[in-house]
């Protein structure tokens, strides 16, 4: 016992314990970082896979080159796609806006013509042509980690003037419009913020960091899940549609009452 006590009091015992603690902590941190990097790079690996890029090029030549050029350099019918990034393709193709059905003020959303794998392959090919916004990692699409209250504040400051405070969309100039955000997949909302499709401004990480974008998505998901507890949504247009509904209903009730009273008197 005396020998053990003397060893515990050794002047280097504290240093040894400190080094052991640092070694264990560093090992655990390294393991956790490796796991996170593997998960975060899962998407990146898919978009940099040569097989996906090759298949994406075939799809592009068959379906997109007519407007965007055989090498995606752009034509009179469509812009260059060099440098737009995978996120832009994922949004435009994943929401059915591309290929366009017809020329107009802006591309309209419609059922997607490519499945998720084909969309990913097209995005991988375009991403290989030049650096651009990438498809977001899953951690920035996890609304459970987001703050809906803060996201609502950010949405009202940055988005509500076009998309309506209820995210129901709104009219713009020259036949253009801000679409409704109800039912839009989180990754498409995120991609829209990073790429600025149509008339939408680009919200880069200098404007809204990835966590801010996640909070906005969390707000949209929370708001949509609440439904319309007050009754009819009336297009989520606020006092305008509500006032029109009340005025029309009240006028109809007044006319009906006058007709009923007239018929009784006769």
d(CA 166, CA 22): 51
| Interacting residues of 207 by C-beta distance below 8 A, sequence separation 6+ | 158
The verdict on whether residue 162 carries a ligand-binding annotation is yes
The reply to whether 159 sits in an annotated binding site is yes
Q: Are 75 and 69 in contact (CB under 8 A)?
A: yes
Sign of CA dihedral 208, 210, 213, 218: negative
Q: Which of 136, 137, 68 is nearest to 98 (CA)?
A: 68
- Asked if residue 67 belongs to a known ligand binding site, the reply is yes
CA distance 221 to 224: 5
Taking the C-alpha atoms of residue 220 and residue 225, their distance in angstroms, rounded to an integer, is 9
Q: How far apart are CA 255 and CA 95, in angstroms?
A: 46
- HSE on the CB side for 99, CA within 13 Å? 14
Q: Judge whether 191 and 255 are in contact, CB under 8 Å.
A: no
163 belongs to an annotated ligand binding site = yes
**Distance of alpha carbon 177 from alpha carbon 154, whole angstroms:** 21
> Are the C-beta atoms of 216 and 154 separated by less than 8 Å?
yes
64 in a labelled binding site: yes
- Runs of H (alpha helix) within the chain: 2-8, 13-48, 50-63, 65-68, 85-94, 116-129, 148-158, 160-163, 186-195, 210-225, 239-265
Residue ranges for the known binding site for heme c are 64, 67-68, 159, 162-163
Residue ranges for the known binding site are 64, 67-68, 159, 162-163
């Amino acid at each position: 016992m005396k020998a053990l006590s003397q060893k515990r009091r050794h002047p280097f015992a504290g240093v040894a314990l400190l080094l052991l603690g640092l070694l264990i902590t560093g090992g655990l941190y390294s393991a956790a970082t490796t796991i996170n990097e593997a998960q975060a790079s899962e998407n990146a690996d898919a978009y940099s896979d040569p097989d996906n890029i090759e298949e994406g090029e075939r799809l592009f030549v068959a379906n997109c080159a007519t407007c965007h050029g055989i090498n995606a350099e752009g034509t009179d019918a469509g812009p260059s796609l060099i440098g737009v990034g995978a996120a832009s393709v994922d949004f435009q193709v994943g929401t059915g806006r591309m290929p366009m059905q017809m020329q107009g003020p802006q591309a309209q959303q419609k059922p997607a013509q490519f499945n998720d794998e084909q969309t990913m392959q097209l995005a991988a090919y375009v991403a290989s042509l030049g650096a651009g916004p990438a498809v977001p990692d899953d951690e920035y699409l996890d609304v459970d980690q987001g703050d809906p209250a803060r996201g609502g504040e950010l949405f009202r400051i940055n988005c509500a003037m076009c998309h309506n405070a209820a995210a129901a969309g709104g009219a713009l100039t020259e036949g253009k419009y801000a679409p409704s955000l109800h039912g839009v997949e989180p990754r498409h909302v995120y991609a829209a913020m990073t790429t600025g499709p149509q008339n939408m401004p680009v919200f880069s990480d200098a404007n809204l960091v990835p966590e801010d974008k996640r909070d906005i998505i969390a707000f949209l998901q929370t708001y949509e899940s609440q439904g319309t507890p007050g009754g009819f949504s009336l297009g989520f247009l606020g006092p305008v549609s509500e006032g029109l509904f009340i005025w029309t209903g009240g006028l109809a009730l007044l006319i009906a009452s006058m007709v009923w009273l007239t018929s009784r008197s006769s």
